[in-house]
Structure 1
Amino acid sequence: MKAPALTAVESLTACLWETASLSPRAMGIVRDLASVHGTDRVVVDSCQRLEYYGIGPCRCDAPHRLHGLEALHHLAEVASGLHAAELGEDQVMGQVREGVSGADGDLRALAGLAVAAARAFRRAEEFDTDSGRLLDRALQAAEVAPQGDLLVLGAGRLGRLVA
């Protein structure tokens, strides 16, 4: 991985939307607003957030925006699982890596630094959690004892974890 230029770090921009409680219609509107970012970007798209990272200024309608090192630190935090519903959740690392796959040049190098930092942090903190534990935590918080049957629809990794 080629080291990014210092000017690339300084010109990194993150456009952020929190999407945890949006309806499918509202999520479509957010995706339409975010589509102005073009193709050379890193996109983190999860059940809780839609984030676009790019080099240079942005004039989109994102409610939150970060710049420079603050944007890079935020991407590392997200990849680490520090902003996940379940602290340290590992699914978000895959979502970040998927978003990085389409980036080139300095942007890819910067995102690679964030992912490497997140991996090192996860190892040091021994995070081993995933979204499958959310149901257990919800039942515990509601003081409801697990009982009966639960139908889990979904064939993906998260569906298997919840089951």
Structure 2
Amino acid sequence: MGEVEKSQRQSSFGIHAVNLGDSGFIVIRDGCTIFRSPVQQHDFNFTYQLESDNGSDLPSSAQVFTFPVASGDVIVAGTDGLFDNLYNNEITAVVVHAIRAGLEPQVTAQKIAALARQRAQDKDRQTPFSTAAQDAGIRYYGGKLDDITVVVSYVTASIP
């Protein structure tokens, strides 16, 4: 198969995602974050949410993404406890190290979650949440204790 055909077949892979609120995902390729789903919020720390009362955001407010991926890409999905405590480059660094070490996606996810938890408890380190708080005019420094869920997927493809 020619390189052009191979490239065209690889580009037909993609992820289809629906996201609402402050959970999200990033796509890492060759050690760089190439996509991050944006956070949906009404104001600082007041994110879109689905609830059972009248103050709920509607499912139609969700963002829908189709993003091309290629073999070798890594998708990291997580809750706000991940993204409030780790910058993209910190997540990417863990992924790069894990891939070089030959770690499975589940172990990579555990390592990312452990680092996010460590940062959440660190009162002396700048975090994405503390940066956002400061940008909103709030004096805040350190991590933010919150739920931390991480799912890591390695994109692979077998092309005949």
Shared fold by TM > 0.5?
Answer: no
- TM-score with structure 1 setting the length: 0.29
- TM-score with structure 2 setting the length: 0.29
Q: Which has the higher helix share?
A: 1
Q: Which has the higher strand share?
A: 2
